[in-house]
Amino acid sequence: MELIIRNLSKSYANGVQALTDVSLTIPQGMYGLLGPNGAGKSTLMRTIATLQEADSGTIRLGEIDVLTQKEEVRRTLGYLPQEFGVYPKVGAEELLDHFAVLKGITHRAERKETVQALLQQTNLYEVRKKKLGGFSGGMRQRFGIAVALLGNPRLIIVDEPTAGLDPAERVRFLNLLSELGENSVVILSTHIVEDVSELCSRMAIIDRGEILLEGEPLAAIEKMRGKVWKKIVDRSEVAAEEAAHHVISTRMLAGRTMIHVHHDARPDESFQPVDPSLEDVYFAAMGRHISGEGETPEAAVLA
């Protein structure tokens, strides 16, 4: 099953163009939607989740028209928004049981079996009686996934799920998402490049409501091979390097600054080659878009 988005646009009353002619084909498995805050990721996720209307375009999930058959979508949707509330004085098992009733699982024995299975799957069974107000950030996110998984959804949307998690919780949560991608379409919306590079077989980069790149992360990285160069400079030299070259990223290194430059050939002998990463792909696509230089070979649909 695929989620097929064609020519989707959305603007708000204040004049902000949140999405512009977005077209994506999202297959079963983990799919990364990567972009900075304000890029349009949450608008796209909310539209897919039937929480807001599009101005134009179409979305289909298999045979379901997402924009007109909202109830059919909701029956097969699991959605974990960036921000979600819980009742802090209620235990995880009790609240998950309540959500199961709302999802239509009314048979008591079936509901008990479902709730216990989801608590086991999200590694929360041992703390099932603990009040949610005492959960860590990662435990709350895993509880959110347990809620999203009620009803065996075919489409799962998670919006910025690892923001604020400590490294151990992040790893546990990403491993759980990876397992879910074996049987469903899972869309991971994030600004964290590592989450996409570690999990997703396909991805898109979005900024200011436009898709800059769509394809396989490994293919995008390979297209950058031989085109990323590094140089360590003093902080006072960075501006001059940015004026002379297409600097895609800078980072501090032992009191100096390492710059990465995107160029088809070595800019000069002071630069050293770099094995590209998805971060380089991301910054190259973003840099071209911000500067208005137009589409590069990397900012195209990758097979």
Range of the domain at 183: 3-220
- What's the pLDDT at 292? 52
Q: pLDDT value at position 290?
A: 54
Domains in the chain: how many in total?
2
- Cα distance between residue 219 and residue 281, in whole Å: 10
The pTM of this model reads 0.86
Model confidence at 234: pLDDT above 90: yes
Q: Do 61 and 191 belong to one domain? A: yes
State pLDDT tens for residues 240-266. 999 999 999 999 988 899 999 999 999
Residues 71, 207 within the same domain: yes
Are residue 101 and residue 117 in the same domain, yes or no? yes
208 and 106 within one domain:
yes
Least confident range from 39-48, 130-139, 290-299: namely: 290-299
Q: Tell me: do 131 and 259 sit in the same domain.
A: no
Mean pLDDT for 91-116 is: 94
- Taking 90 as the threshold, does the pLDDT of residue 165 lie above it? no
Res 48 pLDDT > 80: yes
Q: Which of 220, 252, 278 is the last residue of a domain?
A: 220
pLDDT of amino acid 82: 78
Q: What own/partner pairs with CB < 8 Å and gap ≥ 24 does 19-22 have?
A: 19/43, 19/44, 19/47, 19/54, 19/209, 20/208, 20/209, 20/210, 21/57, 21/210, 22/57, 22/206, 22/209, 22/210, 22/211
Asked whether the predicted pLDDT for residue 303 surpasses 70, the reply is no
Q: Is the predicted pLDDT of residue 155 greater than 50, yes or no? A: yes
pLDDT (mean) for 204-227: 95
Which of 173, 193, 220 represents a domain boundary (last residue)?
220
Does residue 295 surpass a pLDDT of 50?
no
CA atoms within 13 A on the CB side of 235: 6
Q: How confident is the model at residue 138 (pLDDT cuts 50, 70, 90)?
A: confident
Residue 301, pLDDT > 60, answer no
User: 282-294 pLDDT, tens per residue?
Assistant: 999 988 655 555 4
What's the average model confidence in pLDDT over 212-219? Answer: 94
**Does pLDDT of 164 surpass 90?**
no
Across 208-215, average pLDDT:
95
The rounded percent of the chain whose pLDDT value lies above 70 is 95
Per the CB < 8 A criterion, the answer to whether 160 and 100 are in contact is: no
Per-residue pLDDT reduced to its tens digit, 63-85: 999 999 999 999 999 998 877 77
Tokens of 18: 């949140």
CATH number of the domain to which 145 belongs: 3.40.50.300
Judge whether 300 lies within some domain.
no
Query: Mean pLDDT for the chain?
Result: 90
Residues 132 and 251 in one domain: no
The answer to whether position 299 is within a domain reads no
Q: How do residues 24-41 score in pLDDT, each as one tens digit? A: 999 999 999 999 988 999
- Residues of the chain with pLDDT > 90: what percent? 71
